[in-house]
Each structure stands twice: as structure tokens, then as C-alpha cells.
Structure 1
């Protein structure tokens, strides 16, 4: 039986796609860069810094880490201002509340701490998580598993004792690379065939499929 579950935020627990894309676009306008929204959507999950690097490479715009840091600060400010548009997916909070009495819960998000803390407070979720790890506490982006490794250590569980909930191919790859079971949720930017190709242990349409999730975790 699993002793812990780790959740991603964007596209897994919350519908953040529109707010994320807009916040990136607003920041990039500061340097006269206007990438297609689909490009940004496909990069959700690897963290703001790495997303900016990838976009600037695609757009053939030279950059240094000072510029990246500046863009990230602007993006975080924009994200908080746009956060009123963000909604939890149906069933997300209910699932967390059900699991809280059974196993330890972790949140592993490639967002900045300031943004995640703001949303956890807004949705009254902070008390449901035993551990929260954000981009501020790590140095590598998904699909590197660093964020999950840190979360496991802080939860005091082994990889085989934990299950990760993810919506992106980057997150599923990160989980599988260190032998953690992974439930993929089809509420992100990737279609079912793309998710299947990453070989998660279970695929659900949403976190509202609580019976299916419960059976996988505890039976």
C-alpha cells in the first residue's frame, strides 16, 4: 500500500493554462517577443525559467540569466494578478481531503513559492499538504526528477511507497525515471496518446474519478 502521494499543480489540481499562457505573454512583450500560445502551452510543467529559455531559443533571441530572472519576476507578478481566473478542477479538493486521512500528501510544483503560497491560501489547501516543494527549492527542471526526490525525502518515504499525480509528459517521465508509480490525469495540455506513450501506471480523465484512483492506491 502506498504511504504517500505527490501532486503536481498546473493542469493536475488546477486549471491554470489560460492564466499561465497570458502571464508568459505579458512578460515577453517587455522584450517585444510574441510566441504562439500553443508553444507556451506545450512547455507548461518545466518551470518558468526553463520555459523562458526554450521560448527565446525558438524565437532566436539572445539572452543571459539576468534577463531570465527578470522575466520570471515579471511573470510571477502577472500570475498573481491573474490568479482570480484560476479554478480547481472538479474533484481535486475532495480527493485531497479523502486522502489526507489515509496517507501523507506532497505538492511538487515548478511554480515559484510566492505564487503557490498565494493559491494554497486562496483555495484553503495549505493544511492538506505535509510537504510543498517549489521551483525555489530546486535547481533542475522536469523531466529531471529532482523536485520529486526532494519531496520524497521531506515526506520520509521511499519511491516505491509513493504515487505521483501528473498531467504533463515531463512530469510522467520524471516520476518513471526514479521508479515512482504515476497516475496521469488528462486535464493538461497533452492528449491521451501522448500520455500513453510515457507509460504511466494509470490514466484518468480527471481527479473526479475517485473510485478508480482509490482502487489503484489501496486495493
Structure 2
């Protein structure tokens, strides 16, 4: 492989429960929506505005209001998660070895730059990732392949020469549509939730899995 493309939340850091709680608080306490934590979890893919539109319907909020809610949700998430912020076990070792071997790396995430910067700067990771593709950089978010295809283009590598690391079925579907293989880390979703996605090379619990070292 010539390139590794990483989703961020739930893939590089195990933070999806914190996102779930922040969103659930916004939806139920701030906006009065009756929705369970489990249903909130199922809606957590794509851009923040898309989540709000799936839950409330298009046109319910102005774009300005959705941007405001998005910023507030991310502030709550970061405040709660920062004391726990760390890479998933084995990932720093993988990043360093891949960097030494000349494997190109990028982040392709539905997160806004505010959250990507939160991780890269606090964990000192910027030198590994010359390319980041955020929610602000694409028209269509996952499961559309635009995020990963754009990351590959910016790295100047072909899609078939990339491996995508993901934790979400929608992200794996995006990789499939982009012509890329994927490795799934099971931080939030179980294997059966990925049925029908033939591009998965391996399911892993963390980056200490022996299969990971075989890649480099």
C-alpha cells in the first residue's frame, strides 16, 4: 500500500460515546426531541447539519442555527473528552513506522476543522498528516466517497493503493464506493453491522493487532 487514510473519531481516538452524549444532550435537553441514546448513535454520521436534518427534517433550522448548534455540541464534547484524549492503543507506533517507511497518510473525516485541530494539536500529530479532509472540504459526506477520494488525490495516490481505517459502516461504504479496501476498528459498531461490505480486510480491536504490522 502507498497510503493510509484515517477516519478520526472512533478510529484514531475512542471518543464516540462522548459525541453520542453531547448530541443526545443537545437534541433532548436543548431542542426537546424525544430520542434515545441508541437512536442518536445511529444518526451520528456525515456532517453535523445533516444529522440535524435527519432528526428534525430539512428546513426546520436555518443554516445559521445549525452552525450554532454544531459549535455548541463540539464545545461540550471537547470539554468532556479532553481529560481522556489519547490515541487508541498501538496507533502511534503504526503512524511512526508508516512515516519511516514513506507511506503517505491523510485524515478523511466528517468532523469540522475545530475537532480535527483539537486532536492533531493536543496529540502532536500534524507531521504525520500533510493532508486533512474535513466536513468543510466536501460537498457530499460519507457514505459518499468524496472525502476519501479527495484525500487520495491530494496525496497523489490511486484509490486502489489506499487502505482506509474506519469504525463506521457508512465510512466503509464510502471507501467501497471510492474503490478502496478498509480495516475496521470495532470501537462502537459490531462486526454484524458491516454485513454486505466486501471491501473489509480485517476487523481489529486496536492497532496492536498483528495484522497491522504486516501492512508495513
Q: Tell me if both proteins adopt one fold, taking TM over 0.5 as the criterion.
A: yes
Q: How far is the alpha carbon of 1:35 from its aligned partner?
A: 2.1
Q: Does 95-104 or 75-84 show the bigger shift?
A: 75-84
**Matched residues in 1 for 2:204 and 2:137: separation?**
30
Q: How far is the alpha carbon of 1:210 from its aligned partner?
A: 4.4
**Matched residues in 2 for 1:206 and 1:127: separation?**
25
Segments of 5+ residues of structure 1 without an aligned counterpart are none
State the partner residue of 1:96.
95
Q: Does 47-56 or 97-106 show the bigger shift?
A: 47-56
Q: Deviations over 1:83-121 (max 9, x none)?
A: 313442211222111211120011111111011101111
Q: Please report the TM-score for the alignment, with normalisation by the length of structure 2.
A: 0.89
State the partner residue of 1:164.
164
Contact kept, 8 Å, 1:107 with 1:133, in 2: the verdict is yes
Q: How far is the alpha carbon of 1:30 from its aligned partner?
A: 2.3
**Matched residues in 2 for 1:181 and 1:115: separation?**
26
**Matched residues in 2 for 1:95 and 1:42: separation?**
29
Matched, 1:122 2:114: no
Segments of 5+ residues of structure 2 without an aligned counterpart are none
Q: Does 142-151 or 123-132 show the bigger shift?
A: 123-132
| Structure 2 counterparts to residues 16-55 of structure 1, below 5 A | 16-28=15-27, 29-55=29-55
Q: Does 12-21 or 83-92 show the bigger shift?
A: 83-92
State the partner residue of 1:200.
199
Contact kept, 8 Å, 2:89 with 2:208, in 1: the verdict is no
Count the aligned residue pairs: 213
Give the RMSD, CA atoms, in angstroms: 2.1
**Matched residues in 2 for 1:88 and 1:42: separation?**
24
State the partner residue of 1:78.
76
**Matched residues in 2 for 1:130 and 1:214: separation?**
22
**Matched residues in 2 for 1:92 and 1:117: separation?**
18
**Matched residues in 2 for 1:82 and 1:43: separation?**
20
Q: Deviations over 1:144-191 (max 9, x none)?
A: 111111111110111111111111110110001121111122222x21
Q: Per the alignment, do residues 133 and 148 of structure 1 end up closer, same or farther by CA in structure 2, a change over 3 Å counting?
A: same
Contact kept, 8 Å, 1:6 with 1:107, in 2: the verdict is yes
